[in-house]
Structure 1
């Protein structure tokens, strides 16, 4: 980490969240294995984050052509499939300062090659970033490297700027050399997450089934007291951050699921969909959170096996 540059208090919050998320991903690399319950894995990882921070969103375990947004439902029976690429996407926050990070795991040769290429694409993209650099520079590096290997970046998934208690501020960081407005701004935090697919993939994702992930979309208070109670609990506990249906069951009991569905139908709560590769190809993902200082870039979610410097 470079010296000076301001924002030391914010940076320390981001680093604390990053350490919690990185440690949980290190645990994921040890415990994710063929046949293991996805629900048990997610609960263990979320518990690990909670010892040092708070989960910023539910643990995502997306397998094979499922690119993003799958978290187990209450009582979910899904198991890890060792034939697929398994993506583990985790978030932690400290007083609303967020770390968002992901790894991909694979156990067969072809899948392992795609995983390693995606890991390197992220590193190459980060190496192009400095204060004031155009956002498109990151995606340009990712796309150039992927296409040189005969791979495709997923064009309609992107990184995003982070805000306090805000996972997506509206500023996107594309994974291709797209005409994206804006630059990497000093004092800004960004989640950078390339997704790559093999040549036969479409290089884009489509909406699929419900993901068991939700977010409070409106502060409007329902007239029904039972619905108002659930909506108030969501705000007090999660603010505008995503949460899982199983968290609501844990907090309020199974009866609250009916209220949650009603809040979705009223537009007060948003329900996420899983995102699936349009051609059914395997998808790999890696993700880090960075904090841009006046004098350089700090990767806040660097894991111990990667710590050979800030980039």
Structure 2
């Protein structure tokens, strides 16, 4: 069942969203050459504890994972893109790091992801990161009352096509609110004018993610980390939004952040 949120409930989600944004910004500042993923995870764990927030990942056990997830953030490197299990890995110059975080505060959840380049960036890595950011902004712009769910999916797909990136539809955006995953699934590929009519009070996590040259995925032996099937590099951008009478409200936008301009091919 899809639960529409009241303005007061959306504001409570916004509190969680601001904290998620703060933590991801801190991860970006700390993601330097020589830093271990486990040290990043420990720092995030401390931030969550000090805030009195609840990790949505700890003990998470969906059908696609292997046992309960026992970390508080997903950290995915290079060809890994989703559900990256923090492990003993030291970041190297030129690595691409995707960080995905969902927390609850006072019973309301927000979810966001960012992709960073560690050290010296390669232009092709910046290009795919910017493409996911542009796709996310296009998806947000489409999330207006009276539009349909397919308009969001089509907006992501259009940006992917502009850049020549294939799109996987197994994992995408989702409803969010009292829990991390609520109804409904939001594919990153679709047709405009199709699907659920968007109404004020609908809260969604929108998350374009692309691999450079494939739409197929493989799992690591840990049962969680998802990689591009051909080893090509990846990127992931995500925001939690609320649809309001005035249009989309981004609940995980970093302070002073302005939307990324549409990236050029």
Fold conserved between structures, TM > 0.5: yes
What's 2:182 paired with?
Answer: 169
> Could you say which residue in structure 1 is the equivalent of 2:39?
40
Inter-partner Cα distance in structure 2 for 1:54 and 1:208:
27
Query: 1:109, CA displacement in angstroms?
Result: 1.9
Q: 1:305 to 1:203 in 2, by over 3 A?
A: farther
The worse-fitting range, judged by mean Cα deviation, of 88-97 and 170-179 is 170-179
CA distance in 2, matches of 1:169, 1:81: 36
Unmatched 5+ residue regions in structure 1? Answer: 1-5, 212-272
* TM-score w.r.t. length of structure 1: 0.70
Q: Report the alpha carbon displacement of residue 156 of structure 1 after superposing the two structures with TM.
A: 2.1
Q: CA RMSD in A?
A: 2.2
- 1:232-311 correspondence to structure 2 within 5 Å: 273-307=224-258
Displacement of 1:20 in angstroms is 0.5
* Paired residues of 1:63 and 1:86 also in contact (CA < 8 A): yes
Contact 1:156 1:205 in 2 (8 A): no
Which has more radius of gyration?
Answer: 1
Match of 2:196 in 1: 182
Distance 2:186 2:146 in 1: 14
Number of equivalent positions: 237
Alignment pair present for 1:209 and 2:160 = no
Q: Structure 1 stretch 28-37 or stretch 172-181: which is displaced more?
A: 172-181
1:196 to partner: Cα distance? 1.4
CA distance in structure 1 between the aligned counterparts of 2:135 and 2:153, rounded to whole angstroms: 9
Q: How far, CA to CA, are the matches of 2:191 and 2:93 in structure 1?
A: 34
Query: Whole-Å Cα distance in 2 between the matches of residues 47 and 189 of structure 1?
Result: 28
What is the Cα deviation at residue 39 of structure 1? Answer: 0.7
Q: CA deviation at 1:209?
A: 2.2
Deviation at 1:45, TM superposition (A): 1.9
2:127 paired with 1:116: no
Distance 1:34 1:104 in 2: 15
Three-state SS of the structure 2 residue aligned to 1:136 is helix
Query: Runs of 5+ in structure 2 lacking a partner?
Result: 58-71, 260-265
Shift of 1:291: 1.2
1:132 aligns with 2:146: yes
Q: How does 1:52-91 map to 2 (within 5 A)?
A: 52=51, 53-57=53-57, 58-72=72-86, 76-91=87-102
User: Following TM superposition, by how much is the alpha carbon of 1:125 offset from its aligned partner in structure 2, in angstroms?
Assistant: 1.3
Please name the residue that 1:50 is paired with. Answer: 49
Structure with greater helix share of residues: 1
Partner of 2:63: none
* Cα distance in 2 for residues equivalent to 1:77 and 1:91: 22
